[in-house]
């Protein structure tokens, strides 16, 4: 019995469980209520369950289930016959070190803010599944990213609950004698110390640096407080810790990566520490630069110039003073490495420029974003045409098994397959789909929508409970109305992501009368579910949330337009599995890739999106819907009007008729055919197994 309990505890200590359907079921079965209350965190869950209860419950099938999952876990860890072993042995021998300011692995580990983090988490999981020797490096944020709730006016409020290391599956990194491993970095005139935590994600390890130790002055402890918290000064301090501190930690652990992968420019200071290490070995400046370049790989995610991290000359001088003295680097030389314009001595220091200068490869995250990046950075490569600018692309994907809800996972299992197997090739997906009837697919859609609607009902119950504490009775009534009116018979659109303004969440409300006619059509109605957080400093984004909350209270939309608080990985999974249509309305080409629409496909959801990011590559006319044809207007108003008009027209002329047209068996044959097309053409391409294999063969392996 003791053995089973130990196995159960061991399972909680590796986030592998988060992409194993049966493992998650074990934790939920222990106590569905505590599982939900503890944000699906099994470590916290077990802290509430006594040894006595565990012993009693492990006696019968429950114990057998633990044995089964545990053996699968051990077999996974020990599997030697992996993709990497067979195709990239050099990536088994030496690790790839992947640096990212955020990682979204599971909602219970709140060290992410949005898509960039989710991508990093999915990258880590696929590297593990493929057997690549891989470590991640990030910061431990004790308050994480905020928890969102809305006040009575629909204005976003932020709450920063502490996450305690004891309730997380992380372990302190210690040396052979059991002492904490401590590194330090120079910031301004101070030496800032950091301990480190380790989080196991399948076969990979994620290291989290943490300045919350007594040796530091309080303002340096705050470096590890919030994801993207604070001002520019905080930002540069976090980036120094991540880049320079991360390299020092890896060196101290005796790890020698074959590649350092910078996921976005935040970690680009790592190149400075690598330069310093090479200079200390006696290499000349040129040799050191060449050596660093030969080990670094950079992925950019930002298609607009203003989105890139930049620091002023004064801030750089102040912050790097002591560091530069310690490594013997000249300030002007540092500034040159990050300068966009070498003639302009007042030029800002741009993290992306540093990364581009010191990497052997650079890439954008979709075909379109690759093109945009090449023209955006052409001026750094005098004499090269746009096409010759050395920035390629690898289109983002999602980790299929993490993004499959339990019900869908079991559905594919019942049909003799797994989402990973379906994602291998179009042929593999088509072979499975052939054996599944329209009725079965339609029943899957209904079950998933019903599950989401029940979930929303409970979720709104909580939202209601605490909004009620500072709200008027009329709001209470609207939320109550919403709780009862969603129906699985109704075409359901989902929209959820960060509320950055370029994503234009309120676009569908541009013509209220037209939307009213669409939503309240007596035979072909529509309902829409929204969720998303705005960055705490982004008042324009918060205003978008407020607008949508206000619309949701209009009598004609009440109960048919819903806003769910506190978007996170858990809410995302419910939404992408439940909705019929996933809406995406960015201003082209500002969505570098976007990934949320890729998550909906294996659940039978269809994408309805502006031709931006990954969608122009994936859309073929029969596997989803497009808004416009890539038209571009100088004037924002014109762009919004045009795109909104397109949105309504496609909704009225294509989406709604296809969804509501039924055959004699009451099946929407045309719609189901689109679902089949979407699964066959999108799932095999837009997943992180394909993406990480591309990184491995294109950028990680030494040719």
Ligand X SMILES: *Cc1c(COP(=O)(O)O)cnc(C)c1O
Binding residues for ligand X, rule: CB under 6 A, are: 114-115, 118, 497-498, 567-569, 572, 594-596
For residues 448 and 569, which CB has a smaller minimum distance to ligand X in the complex? 569
Provide CB contacts within 8 A for 535, sequence distance 6+: 113, 228, 498, 500, 541
H-assigned helices in 217-330 = 218-221, 232-240, 246-252, 270-280, 285-293, 313-327
CA 350/CA 337 separation, integer angstroms: 9
For residues 148 and 595, which CB has a smaller minimum distance to ligand X in the complex? 595
Is residue 491 within 8 Å of residue 525, measured between CB atoms?
A: yes
CB of 662 to ligand X, least distance (A): 31
The two three-digit tokens of residue 668, written as one number: 């929407």
CB of 607 to ligand X, least distance (A): 11
DSSP of 93-127 = HS-EEEE-S---S-TTS----SHHHHHHHHHHHHH
Burial of 231 (0-12, 13-18, 19+ CB in 10 A): exposed
For residues 248 and 573, which CB has a smaller minimum distance to ligand X in the complex? 573
CA torsion 331-333-335-337 (nearest 10°) is: -150
Instruction: Return the number of other C-beta atoms located less than 10 Å from residue 50's C-beta.
Output: 9
CB of 264 to ligand X, least distance (A): 14
For residues 371 and 591, which CB has a smaller minimum distance to ligand X in the complex? 591
For residues 538 and 652, which CB has a smaller minimum distance to ligand X in the complex? 538
Is residue 184 within 8 Å of residue 192, measured between CB atoms?
A: yes
CB of 227 to ligand X, least distance (A): 12
For residues 257 and 597, which CB has a smaller minimum distance to ligand X in the complex? 597
For residues 118 and 692, which CB has a smaller minimum distance to ligand X in the complex? 118
**CB burial string 493-519: b at 16+ within 10 A, e below:** bbbbbbbbeebbbbbbbbeeebbeebb
CB of 569 to ligand X, least distance (A): 5
How far, in Å, are 236, 305, 397, 503, 586 from residue 640 at the CA level? Answer: 35, 21, 28, 11, 10
For residues 206 and 610, which CB has a smaller minimum distance to ligand X in the complex? 610
CB of 500 to ligand X, least distance (A): 8
For residues 552 and 593, which CB has a smaller minimum distance to ligand X in the complex? 593
CB of 547 to ligand X, least distance (A): 19
CA 688/CA 591 separation, integer angstroms: 18
CA 278/CA 272 separation, integer angstroms: 10
The phi, psi pair for 563, rounded to 5°, reads -115, 120
For residues 141 and 311, which CB has a smaller minimum distance to ligand X in the complex? 141
The two three-digit tokens of residue 156, written as one number: 């976003």
CB of 150 to ligand X, least distance (A): 17
For residues 57 and 497, which CB has a smaller minimum distance to ligand X in the complex? 497
Residue 666: strand, helix, or coil: coil
CB of 209 to ligand X, least distance (A): 23
Residue 147: strand, helix, or coil: strand
Which residues partner with 399 through β-bridges?
none
Residue 679: strand, helix, or coil: helix
Bond preceding residue 31 cis, omega within 30 of 0? no
For residues 559 and 613, which CB has a smaller minimum distance to ligand X in the complex? 613
For residues 406 and 525, which CB has a smaller minimum distance to ligand X in the complex? 406
CB of 206 to ligand X, least distance (A): 18
H-assigned helices in 338-387 = 351-357, 367-376
Is residue 258 within 8 Å of residue 702, measured between CB atoms?
A: yes
How far, in Å, are 167, 169, 456, 459 from residue 109 at the CA level? Answer: 10, 9, 22, 20
Provide CB contacts within 8 A for 431, sequence distance 6+: none
For residues 310 and 498, which CB has a smaller minimum distance to ligand X in the complex? 498
The two three-digit tokens of residue 659, written as one number: 């969804």
For residues 599 and 676, which CB has a smaller minimum distance to ligand X in the complex? 599
For residues 390 and 570, which CB has a smaller minimum distance to ligand X in the complex? 570
CB of 572 to ligand X, least distance (A): 3
CA 240/CA 192 separation, integer angstroms: 10
CB of 397 to ligand X, least distance (A): 11
CB of 638 to ligand X, least distance (A): 24
CB of 613 to ligand X, least distance (A): 7
CB of 548 to ligand X, least distance (A): 16
CB of 609 to ligand X, least distance (A): 9
How far, in Å, are 107, 518, 595, 603 from residue 582 at the CA level? Answer: 21, 17, 11, 11
Residue 558: strand, helix, or coil: coil
The two three-digit tokens of residue 109, written as one number: 């580990």
């Amino acid at each position: 019995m003791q053995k089973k309990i130990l196995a159960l505890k061991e399972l909680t200590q590796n986030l592998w469980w988060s992409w194993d359907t049966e493992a998650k079921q074990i934790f939920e079965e222990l106590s569905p209520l505590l599982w939900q209350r503890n944000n699906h965190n099994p470590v916290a869950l077990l802290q509430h369950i006594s040894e006595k209860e565990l012993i009693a419950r492990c006696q019968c099938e429950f114990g057998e289930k633990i044995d089964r999952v545990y053996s699968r876990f051990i077999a996974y860890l020990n599997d030697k016959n992996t993709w990497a072993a067979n195709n990239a042995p050099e990536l088994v021998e030496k690790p790839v070190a992947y640096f990212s300011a955020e990682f979204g692995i599971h909602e219970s580990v709140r060290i992410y803010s949005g898509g960039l983090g989710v991508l990093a988490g999915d990258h880590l999981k696929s590297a593990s599944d493929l057997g690549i020797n891989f470590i991640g490096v990030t910061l431990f944020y004790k308050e994480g990213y905020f928890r969102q709730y809305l006040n009575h006016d629909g204005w976003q409020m932020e709450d920063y609950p502490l996450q305690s290391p004891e309730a997380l599956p992380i372990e302190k990194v210690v040396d052979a004698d059991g002492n904490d491993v401590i590194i330090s970095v120079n910031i301004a005139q101070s030496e800032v110390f950091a301990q480190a935590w380790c989080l196991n994600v399948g076969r990979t390890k994620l290291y989290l640096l943490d300045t919350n130790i007594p040796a530091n002055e309080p303002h340096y402890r705050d470096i590890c407080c919030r994801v993207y918290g604070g001002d520019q000064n905080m930002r540069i301090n976090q980036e120094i810790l991540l880049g320079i501190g991360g390299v020092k930690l890896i060196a101290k652990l005796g790890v020698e990566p074959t590649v350092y992968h910078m996921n976005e420019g935040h970690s680009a200071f790592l190149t400075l520490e690598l330069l310093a290490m090479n200079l200390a070995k006696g290499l000349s400046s040129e040799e050191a630069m060449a050596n660093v370049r030969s080990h670094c790989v950079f992925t950019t995610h930002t298609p607009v110039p203003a989105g890139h991290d930049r620091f002023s000359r004064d801030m750089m001088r102040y912050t790097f003073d002591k560091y530069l003295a310690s490594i013997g680097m000249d300030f002007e030389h540092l500034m040159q490495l990050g300068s966009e314009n070498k003639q302009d001595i007042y030029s800002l220091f741009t993290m992306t420029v540093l990364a581009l200068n010191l990497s052997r490869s650079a890439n954008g995250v979709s075909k379109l974003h690759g093109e945009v990046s090449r023209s955006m950075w052409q001026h750094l490569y005098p004499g090269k045409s746009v096409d010759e600018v050395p920035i390629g692309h690898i289109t983002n994907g999602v980790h299929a098994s993490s993004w499959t809800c339990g019900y869908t996972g079991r559905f594919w299992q019942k049909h003799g397959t797994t989402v990973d197997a379906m994602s291998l090739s179009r042929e593999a997906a088509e072979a499975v789909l052939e054996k599944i009837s329209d009725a079965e697919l339609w029943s899957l859609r209904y079950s998933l929508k019903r599950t989401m609607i029940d979930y929303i009902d409970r979720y709104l119950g909580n939202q209601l409970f605490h909004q009620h504490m500072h709200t008027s009775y009329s709001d209470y009534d609207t939320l109550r109305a919403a709780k009862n009116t969603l129906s699985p018979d109704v075409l359901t659109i989902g929209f959820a992501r960060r509320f950055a303004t370029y994503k234009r969440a309120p676009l569908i409300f541009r013509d209220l009368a037209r939307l009213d006619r669409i939503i309240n059509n007596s035979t072909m109605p529509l309902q829409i579910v929204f969720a998303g957080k705005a960055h705490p400093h982004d008042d324009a984004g918060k205003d978008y949330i407020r607008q949508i909350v206000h619309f949701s209270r209009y009598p004609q939309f009440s109960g048919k337009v819903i806003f769910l608080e506190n978007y996170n990985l858990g809410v995302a999974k419910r939404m992408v599995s439940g909705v019929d249509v996933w809406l995406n309305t960015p201003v082209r080409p500002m969505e570098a890739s976007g990934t949320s629409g890729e998550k909906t496909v294996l659940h039978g959801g269809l994408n309805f999106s502006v031709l931006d990011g990954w969608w122009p590559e994936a859309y073929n006319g029969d596997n989803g819907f497009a808004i416009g044809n890539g038209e571009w207007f100088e004037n924002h108003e014109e762009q919004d009007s045009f795109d909104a008009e397109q949105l309504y027209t496609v909704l009225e002329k294509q989406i709604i008729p296809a969804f509501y047209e039924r055959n004699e068996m009451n099946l929407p044959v045309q719609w189901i055919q689109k679902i089949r097309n979407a699964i066959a053409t999108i799932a095999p391409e837009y997943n992180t197994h394909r993406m990480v294999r591309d990184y491995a063969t294109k950028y990680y392996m030494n040719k």
